[in-house]
């Protein structure tokens, strides 16, 4: 069974627009997750280009013995409706969506859907390897979009899929070839960690 673990970066020390580093809390969150994954055999460790994703991946990489690989497939994008698809979203979300920075908008999630297709292909191509787990460090809306894709859910479903900092989402490929959600935003490794709320 192939497996993809999606990880949201740890807590950041500033506003997203400034490409912040991890905060002390974020570093502690990722260290806790690294301990949880230490014995997990991994195929590859990928991360998005933002600093908080890279630093999160570096902490995980040290624990699992992998060199983190940057990839644009895990960039911080937000699914955004094209003009003809605004009605796919609740009107109560329209003002918020209009505030999405232009550079982060992914119209009708075209780029995110393509990224998911490429990631699953990479995971499936590693089936011959002893290790079949691909770990991807990215952002909340990216993870929500990938999960929406797996579920075949409506375009706006990612908005109803909260993803915690350092949360672990476990996706597995069934013998039939379809991907399924085994768990979503699991934060069991953060229980009792100061400064963290689930």
What is the pTM assigned to this prediction?
0.94
- The alpha carbons of the chain give a radius of gyration, in whole angstroms, of 16
Q: Which domains does the chain have, with CATH numbers?
A: 3-190 (3.40.50.1240)
Supply the pLDDT for residue 196.
65
* pLDDT attached to residue 123: 87
pLDDT at residue number 15: 82
Q: Which pLDDT score is estimated for 198? A: 47
DSSP state at residue 196? -
By CB atoms closer than 10 A (0-12, 13-18, 19+), residue 169 is buried
Q: Are 8 and 145 in contact (CB under 8 A)?
A: no
- Taking the C-alpha atoms of 187, 192, 196 and 198 in order, what is their torsion angle to the nearest 10 degrees? 40
* Tens place of pLDDT per residue across the chain (198 aa): 589 999 999 999 988 878 999 999 999 999 999 999 998 888 899 999 999 999 999 999 999 999 999 999 999 999 999 999 999 999 999 999 999 999 999 999 999 999 999 999 988 886 555 557 999 999 999 999 999 999 999 999 999 999 999 999 999 999 999 999 999 999 999 998 866 654
Pair 180, 172: CB distance under 8 Å: yes
């Amino acid at each position: 069974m192939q497996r993809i673990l999606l990880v949201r970066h740890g807590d950041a020390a500033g506003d997203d627009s400034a490409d912040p580093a991890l905060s002390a809390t974020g570093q502690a969150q990722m260290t806790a997750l690294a301990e949880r994954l230490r014995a997990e055999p991994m195929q590859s460790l990928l991360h998005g280009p933002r600093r908080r994703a890279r630093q999160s991946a570096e902490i995980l990489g040290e624990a699992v013995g992998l060199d983190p690989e940057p990839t644009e497939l895990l960039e911080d994008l937000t699914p955004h409706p094209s003009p003809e698809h605004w009605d796919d979203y609740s009107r109560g979300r329209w003002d918020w969506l209009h505030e999405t920075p232009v550079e982060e908008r992914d119209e009708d999630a075209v780029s995110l859907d393509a990224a998911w297709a490429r990631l699953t292909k990479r995971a499936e191509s590693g089936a011959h390897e002893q290790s079949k787990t691909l770990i991807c460090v990215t952002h909340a809306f990216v993870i929500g979009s990938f999960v929406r894709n797996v579920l075949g859910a409506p375009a706006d479903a990612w908005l109803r899929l909260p993803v915690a900092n350092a949360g672990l989402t476990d996706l597995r490929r069934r013998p039939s070839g379809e991907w399924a959600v085994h768990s979503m935003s699991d934060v069991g490794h953060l229980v009792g960690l100061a400064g963290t709320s689930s």
